[in-house]
Amino acid sequence: MPRRGAARTAKLASLPLGIAGRAVGGWGKRLAGQSAEQVSATLSAKAAEQLFEVLGTLKGGAMKFGQALSVFEAAVPDDMAQPYREALTKLQSAAPPMPARQTHRVLAEQLGRSWVGRFSHFDDEPAAAASIGQVHRATWHDGREVAVKVQYPGADEALRSDLRQLQRFSRLFQAFIPGTDVKPLLTELAERMDEELDYLAEADNQRAFAKAFEGDPEFLIPRVVASAPKVVVSEWATGTPLAKIISDGDPATRNLAGRLLAEFHYSSPARAHLLHSDPHPGNFMLTSDGRLCVIDFGGVAKLPHGIPRHLGEITRLALDGHSDELMRLLRENRFVRADSSLEADEVLAYLAPFTEPLAEPTFHFTRRWMQRQAGRVGDSRGNDFHVGRSLNLPPEYLMIHRVTAGSTGILCQLDAEIPARGIVERWQPGFAA
């Protein structure tokens, strides 16, 4: 992992500069006789290739940003999405690994010089390498198969440096995922980076989830075996990654994975008083017995009182078309500023389409549906764009909003048809009433 700030900045700057350079080259190719479609396809493929190479090699905040973007690729129009879809999917679970000697050094620092004795076997080849750490398969001294998550040396410096630089380039990165507001996403990642780096806190989060879902026939949370500030050892779990199901799963498997993902998202605040806040397909697997296995608990929001009741009430009012009551509740909870000139009917017109998945007993989440929503709110010529910019999202709801949007993005990638209404009625306070 490159650790010097100047080197990392230069790498990150190469992304927007590369896009600009290829655009100029594209004009030359068109003048030489190539069609606009040929040039566009070539530019998209090259940009996607560079995106993976830069964000994946740097790891740290750069790769964390790429993973966060990956769940929103369903909003990208199909005619330009495929190269980015493939590149962003790679970022969910694969990155160039660090050498074995570095891994051993971290393990010795964190678990003691006799760390080897804790394992009867340790595989030096990582099973997965991601944004701030990589995972090794091993056998604990008592015979249990375990996953050993090891943080990259210098990950803390890299995370802070990357996120500072990415915030500077936020408007340029907007071109990668049209319809996604990149700046607040980066701000939130920067605010939560200390939590991501603290593996002791991550282990505590995982223990809390494992306790809340213990014995559940539909969910598997691997139990923590040992932990240190930069190492977490937990029970090994196997399954089919959601990225694999997204790429070639059959409809029944897609629907099962989607239903379980939605159930986990909405039930966790009530069952564990926590919200898993890193929703990208690399953190979920479907086991051979049909359970959803959830991993990586570095990003978790604490919700001691669960999801606020008025969020369910707002959703219900938007679904039922009660514009005046909806406006009153939005004002009371600071989603609409007191001095705003927004009209109740235009706010309802903006929010109501988002409630479509709850209008019927089942809903088919598709990329086309998400693209329509992103196009509607991202078109600066339309009224929805201006209404959206005039609404206010209080800071305490930013995480809930982002995770819900991310989970919805995965449902659209899965092309899943699920009983969304029943899940929300069961777990979202205020909605059923």
Burial classification of residue 396, based on how many CB atoms lie within 10 Å of its CB (0-12 exposed, 13-18 middle, 19 or more buried) = exposed
Question: Which candidate in 156, 162, 278, 415 is catalytic?
Answer: 278
Core vs surface per residue 349-368: b (16+ CB within 10 A) or e: ebbbebbebbeeeebbbbbe
The rounded distance, in Å, linking the Cα atoms of 160 and 269 is 29
Contact 90, 125 (CB under 8 A): no
The rounded distance, in Å, linking the Cα atoms of 65 and 85 is 15
Q: What is the largest CA-CA distance in the chain?
A: 68
* 227: β partners: 232
The number of angstroms, rounded, from the C-alpha of 246 to the middle of its chain's C-alpha atoms is 15
Contact 141, 227 (CB under 8 A): no
- Report the SS3 class of residue 143: coil
Question: Which residues are CB-contacts of 41 (< 8 A; sequence separation ≥ 6)?
Answer: none
Secondary element (H or E) of residue 374: helix 367-378
- Report the SS3 class of residue 68: helix
- Report the SS3 class of residue 48: helix
Q: Report DSSP letters for 400-424, one per residue.
A: HHHHHHHHHHHHHHHT-EE-HHHHH
194 is catalytic: no
Quick one: CA dihedral 281, 287, 291, 295, positive or negative? Answer: negative
* Residues recognised as catalytic: 278
